[in-house]
């Protein structure tokens, strides 16, 4: 930990590294990890719980009056109605983890009166540490990060997440991905939204979009992106996104080019934009089955 960092960020780094150590130990024998299912294709492991407990213990030991919002335990820990609330995802990318696919991370953010002020994302497989304090820039392993300089969407690499829960509108997402894919150099789906946002901040990708996200998926990553010079909002381009279950992040120029493409798929789209999507869906639908052919006259 560095003496130059904000004290609260130092504590968050300590918590993230403690969680990362738990995750790395478990990854040595991932087949023995106990797994349960929250819903179809949505998994939680004993590692998620152990990681979350280590983070909460570290944070509340330092700041017992702070609140906690965590993926697995919700708001059961910490002080209720606190102005300072830690938003925690102890293992973003659980499905990747249980398959041994090394793309997952720990995400910790501090919201002060609803505004994200501190952020840590830690990738234990690569020992990459992404940090940000509002107004002080974003860093990867103590190196200042800036979003990419690309300005032409056709040259950009974009990351996203695919729908996987019951009730997700899969066909709608396919149309949205199709709209983006044909205008870019490539589309990627790594499987950990927090890390996706960190990669936008680092300039590894040029933008990220996804629906169905929770605050712990995007809180830390959003500050990394804005402190690295990028923009974050919902699909209509509005800066509200934390509780809105849709997130778009990118370099300013690419963000501006993606909004017109994605806004019709937003929960907050106008009636006319939603009608556009419905019309496209109807046009893509298979033709109705032809009426059964009438019997031919006997020869």
Residue ranges at the known binding site for Mg(2+): 71, 89, 91-92, 217
* Binding-site annotation: residue ranges: 71, 89, 91-92, 217
Distance CA 108, CA 90 (A): 8
Residue whose pair of structure tokens reads 């983006």 in the numeric block: 180
Distance CA 158, CA 189 (A): 9
Residue whose pair of structure tokens reads 């940090």 in the numeric block: 131
List residues bridging with 37 in a β-sheet: 43
Distance CA 214, CA 195 (A): 14
HSE value, Cβ hemisphere, 13 Å, CA-based, for 164:
15
Distance CA 93, CA 103 (A): 7
283: Cβ–Cβ under 8 A, 6 or more apart, which residues? none
Distance CA 194, CA 84 (A): 21
Distance CA 105, CA 127 (A): 10
Distance CA 187, CA 278 (A): 24
């Amino acid at each position: 930990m560095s003496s130059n960092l904000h004290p609260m960020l130092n504590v968050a780094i300590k918590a993230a590294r403690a969680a990362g150590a738990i995750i790395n130990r478990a990854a040595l024998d991932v087949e023995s990890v106990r797994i349960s299912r929250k819903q179809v294709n949505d998994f939680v492991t004993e590692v998620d719980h152990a990681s979350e407990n280590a983070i909460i213990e570290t944070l509340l030991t330092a700041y017992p009056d702070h609140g906690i919002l965590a993926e697995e335990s919700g708001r059961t820990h910490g002080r209720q109605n606190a102005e300072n609330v830690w938003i925690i995802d102890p293992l973003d990318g659980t499905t990747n983890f249980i398959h041994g696919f090394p793309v997952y991370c720990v995400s910790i953010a501090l919201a002060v009166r609803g505004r994200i002020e501190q952020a840590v994302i830690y990738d234990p497989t690569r020992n990459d540490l992404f940090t940000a304090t509002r107004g002080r820039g974003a860093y990867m392993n103590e190196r200042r990060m800036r979003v990419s300089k690309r300005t032409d969407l056709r040259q950009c690499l974009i990351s996203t997440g695919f729908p996987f829960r019951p009730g997700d509108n899969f066909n709608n997402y396919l149309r949205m991905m199709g709209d983006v894919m044909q205008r870019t150099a490539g589309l990627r789906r790594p499987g950990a939204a927090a890390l996706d946002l960190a990669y936008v901040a680092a300039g590894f990708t040029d933008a990220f979009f996804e629906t169905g996200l929770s605050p712990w998926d995007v809180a830390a990553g959003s500050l990394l992106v804005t402190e690295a010079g990028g923009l974050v909002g919902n699909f209509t381009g509005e800066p509200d996104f934390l509780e809105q279950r849709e997130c778009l992040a990118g370099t300013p120029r690419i963000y501006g080019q993606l909004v017109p493409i994605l806004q019709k798929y937003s929960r907050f789209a106008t009636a006319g934009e939603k009608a556009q999507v419905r019309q496209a869906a109807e046009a893509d639908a298979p033709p109705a089955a032809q009426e059964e052919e009438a019997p031919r006259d006997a020869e």
